[in-house]
Each structure stands twice: as C-alpha cells, then as structure tokens.
Amino acid sequence: MNKIQNLAALAVLPVAAALVALPAQAAERPGCPAPSKADVRRSSAAKVDKPARGAAAMKGVRVNHIPKGFTYGQVLVNKHDGMVEYSYQWSDDRDDMSRRHRSLWVRVVCWPKATSVAQLKNAPFRIGTFSGDTTTTKIGDREVLRQGGDGALGAGVYSGWVERPGVVVTVMATPPLVPGLTKIIKGIQL
C-alpha cells in the first residue's frame, strides 16, 4: 500500500459507523457530490480497483484528463468536523520512493464554511492541509492555491480551490504528472 492508502485506512477505522449515513447527509448539501453507498462500503473496506476506474470514478465528479499508465485506484470517503471528503486516487505499481512513481489524487470536500481560496489554509482537512509555502494562481476561471507536496502526501504539487460556496476540490500530482497538472485541473467538472 502507498502512503495515501495507509493513511486512508487509518482514517476510516474510527468513523466507519458514521459513514453509513454519509450519502444522505451529503445529499442535503445542494451542489456537492455525494458518494454512493457502494463507494462508502468500498472505502470502509479499503477495496482497491484493478484496473483503476476512469473519468467518472466518483459519482457527480468528472476528471476529463487522466494521464495513461495507472494500474490501480481507490475511492476514499471520510466524514469529520462538519465536512465530507470524497476522493479517488489513481496510482501505478512503482514504489512510492521511485522518482518515476505516478499518483493522482482528486478530492471533493463538502465544507459548508468554504467560500474563498484563502480559507483553505485553515481548513480542518485530516490529510492534505495547506500548511507550507503556498502560491495562488489562475487556472482557467479558477483561483487555485498551490504548494509543494510533502509529509504524508509525498513529493509533487498539491492544489486546491473553492469550486462554489461549500464545495472544495483538491488535487495532488506526483512529479511525473506535474507538467500536465493544469490540463488535469481544467478538465475537472462537478
């Protein structure tokens, strides 16, 4: 298992019972993608998809540009601090320490308090906080917060934005995927 899978497995253990009601709670937040019951179960069981799912890996989210070469994927669902995190990670079979390792993690966070990109620096994410040196850039019509990946996320670039009030999107791309990160971000539709 890679770093994100290990962290995800640890994160879901204490909240597994609360996840059963997750789809109904997320549905109460209009405009925020809600994980299906099947995705909640897959996340709780730490099931891995071989081969990885495609552009519609998450219900209500479309990732229109997924680089080729991913061998497996995993859906992750978590609920805490009044927010619901729904994500999918695509990865290859290379070791996490390999410079050629390719991993892409796209997450949608239903966080009712989110209204601006500046708030992401203080967001109570359990994994993938914006705690390092950040920059703000414009990608298409989105104002995107970016920082170098470190810690649990590993090397690469971590980006995030507020898609609309209450809906945050984050993307983590390992170094081999960074040159195409702008195209990946532009291709995400909710």
Residue 137's H or E segment, with its range, is strand 134-139
Instruction: Return the domain boundaries, the chain.
Output: 3-189
- Torsion-angle region of 141 (φ positive above 0: left; ψ -120 to 50: alpha; else: beta): alpha
- pLDDT tens series, the chain, 190 aa: 555 554 444 444 444 434 444 444 444 445 899 899 999 999 999 999 999 999 999 999 999 999 998 999 999 999 998 899 999 999 998 876 667 888 999 999 999 999 999 999 999 988 888 887 899 999 999 999 999 987 677 789 999 999 999 999 999 999 999 999 999 999 999 9
Instruction: Name beta bridge partners: 188.
Output: 63
**CATH class of the region 3-189:** alpha beta
Q: Is 19 helix (H, G, I), strand (E, B) or coil?
A: helix
